[in-house]
């Protein structure tokens, strides 16, 4: 069994101890004329536990999302963060210890796995009771979480939304006298452009076009890996053939084969400066170190499949869940309230480049506005594309995807042909699911 590790945020723990001891835990007195709800002034201190799959980048981000806005509006609420670290505490570990979290955050596939532990339920009644206005959110974000349940239940509330972009190294294009990427390119266009900047130069392999991994490359088409209705593999089909072929076409650009297929090209682009174009997700925050060290960055619209113009990956968002077992649901909903407020959402959009699921157009206009390293870079091309609809994810999705990706690597390396790779993936996924289902009986 993995070693159990509880990781809390020191500032939060201090707040919790202070509130418990009664020191400095009273509501701050308002200025004359300000109205303070009497009910809030009489509240007893509450400590909530938040189990996080999607770790906040650092304590400062956690403070900006939760700690500081809670201190300002609901000072009696303290949140203890329990991180999902590698080799650390798992949800099953917590439940085995009789320690059920009040809140959990994660992306769709992680939220879906909570069904196994009965840690999700319809939050719609809580939303109504606490006057949380869902009309402030982009419908595609709300629909994405509703897609996770058979009855369209609201398992969570979105607080961060992913986007896709094409990042490019201006210096490589300048080096080979090639025009920068344009918005509105198809994948075929991107491949042709990649051929112009894929060269061996002075012993250095400059690769023209890279992608994060085959699953991300597929997401514009929203092809599921496991059919959530019959819990069978859904990979031996034309959609995945199209994706596998696109990946192979990119790798087949002369001088464009990476040292390791489908391992991600983060270092090659951001550290080694040997990739001209990198198609991936939101990396605005993590781009800082590379740009400080001299990366001449450009950002363009994510390439599209020609039959789906101006469409990037399926709605990929992070959601905050109030567990049905929480004994402090109203307090937990206040955490949701502050995380999704315009004030907090705009702050993290400006400061960390996080893309808000709110409709408020300022979230896009001011994205990255306080990030000095992005000054002068036009980010609005990102929003010329819209996300594809979110999908329902089987509870077997995560492991099944790994098996599919492993077969893609075999195909890309020439070990097997496409049909064999997809057939092997189908058989391997179905065998895995059958084994898991047998354990569950």
Do 56 and 139 share a domain, yes or no?
Answer: yes
The single-letter DSSP state of residue 67 is I
Average of per-residue pLDDT across 17-46: 47
Do 66 and 148 share a domain, yes or no?
Answer: yes
- Mean pLDDT check: name the lowest of 46-60, 154-168, 204-218, 275-289: 46-60
| Cα–Cα nearest to 278, from 298, 261, 294, 260 | 298
Residue 41 has pLDDT above 50, yes or no: yes
Residue 392 has pLDDT above 60, yes or no: yes
* CATH number, domain with residue 24: 3.40.190.10
Cα separation, 383 vs 302, in Å, equals 9
Q: Domain span at residue 346?
A: 10-162+316-386
Do 66 and 107 share a domain, yes or no?
Answer: yes
Instruction: Determine which helix (DSSP H) or strand (DSSP E) holds 311, and give its type and residue range.
Output: strand 311-314
> DSSP states of 34-57 as a string?
----HHHHTPPPEEEEEEESS--S
Please count the CA atoms within 13 angstroms of the CA of 338 that sit on its side-chain side: 22
Do 121 and 249 share a domain, yes or no?
Answer: no
Do 18 and 99 share a domain, yes or no?
Answer: yes
| Cα–Cα nearest to 358, from 136, 105, 141, 108 | 136
Instruction: Locate 23 and state its tokens.
Output: 């020191």
Number of domains in the chain: 2
At 116, the pLDDT band (50, 70, 90 cuts) reads: confident
Do 156 and 168 share a domain, yes or no?
Answer: no
Residue 275: phi and psi, rounded to 5, are: -115, 130
Distance of CA 211 to the CA centre of its chain: 16
Q: Within a domain: residue 32?
A: yes
Q: Is 21 exposed, middle or buried (0-12, 13-18, 19+ CB in 10 A)?
A: exposed
Average of per-residue pLDDT across 295-322: 95
Helix axes 238-251, 418-440, angle to 10 degrees: 120
- Mean pLDDT check: name the lowest of 13-27, 105-119, 288-302: 13-27
Q: Within a domain: residue 272?
A: yes
Span 201-234, pLDDT tens digits: 999 999 999 999 999 999 999 899 999 889 999 9
């Amino acid at each position: 069994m993995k070693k159990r590790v509880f990781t809390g945020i020191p500032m939060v723990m201090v707040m919790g101890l202070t509130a418990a001891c009664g020191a400095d835990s009273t509501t701050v007195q308002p200025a004359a004329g300000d109205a303070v709800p009497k009910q809030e002034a009489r509240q007893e201190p509450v400590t909530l536990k938040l189990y996080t799959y999607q770790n906040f980048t650092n304590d400062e981000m956690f403070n900006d999302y939760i700690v500081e806005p809670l201190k300002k509006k609901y000072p009696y609420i303290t949140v203890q963060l329990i991180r999902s670290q590698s080799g650390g505490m798992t949800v099953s570990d917590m439940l085995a210890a009789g320690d059920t979290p009040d809140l959990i955050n994660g992306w769709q596939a992680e939220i879906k796995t909570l069904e196994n532990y009965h840690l999700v339920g319809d939050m719609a009644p809580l939303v109504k009771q606490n006057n949380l206005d869902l009309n402030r959110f982009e419908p595609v974000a709300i629909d994405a979480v509703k897609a996770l349940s058979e009855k369209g239940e609201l398992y969570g509330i979105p607080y961060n939304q992913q986007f896709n972009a094409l990042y490019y190294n201006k210096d490589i294009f300048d080096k080979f006298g090639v025009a920068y990427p344009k918005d509105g390119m198809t994948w075929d266009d991107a491949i042709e452009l990649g051929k112009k900047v894929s060269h061996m130069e002075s012993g250095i392999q400059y690769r023209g076009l890279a992608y994060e991994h085959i699953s991300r490359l597929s997401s514009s088409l929203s092809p599921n890996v496991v059919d959530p209705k019959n819990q069978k593999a859904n990979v031996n089909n034309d959609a995945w053939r199209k994706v596998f072929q696109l990946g192979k076409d990119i790798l087949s650009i002369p001088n464009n084969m990476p040292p390791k297929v489908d391992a991600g090209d983060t270092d090659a682009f951001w550290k080694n400066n040997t990739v001209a174009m990198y198609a991936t997700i939101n990396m605005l925050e993590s781009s800082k170190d590379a740009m400080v060290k001299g990366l001449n960055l450009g950002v363009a619209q994510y390439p599209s499949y020609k039959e789906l113009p101006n469409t990037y990956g399926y709605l990929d968002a992070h959601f905050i869940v109030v567990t049905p077992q929480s004994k402090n649901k109203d307090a937990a909903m206040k955490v949701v309230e502050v995380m999704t407020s315009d004030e907090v959402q705009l702050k993290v959009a400006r400061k960390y480049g996080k893309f808000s699921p709110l409709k408020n157009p300022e979230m896009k206009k001011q994205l990255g506005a306080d990030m000095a390293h992005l000054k002068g870079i036009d980010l609005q091309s990102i929003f010329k594309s819209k996300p594809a609809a979110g999908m329902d994810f089987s509870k077997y999705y995560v492991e099944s995807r790994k098996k599919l990706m492993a077969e893609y690597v075999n195909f890309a390396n020439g070990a097997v042909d496409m049909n064999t790779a997809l057939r092997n993936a189908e058989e391997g996924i179905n065998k895995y699911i059958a084994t898991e289902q047998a354990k569950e009986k």
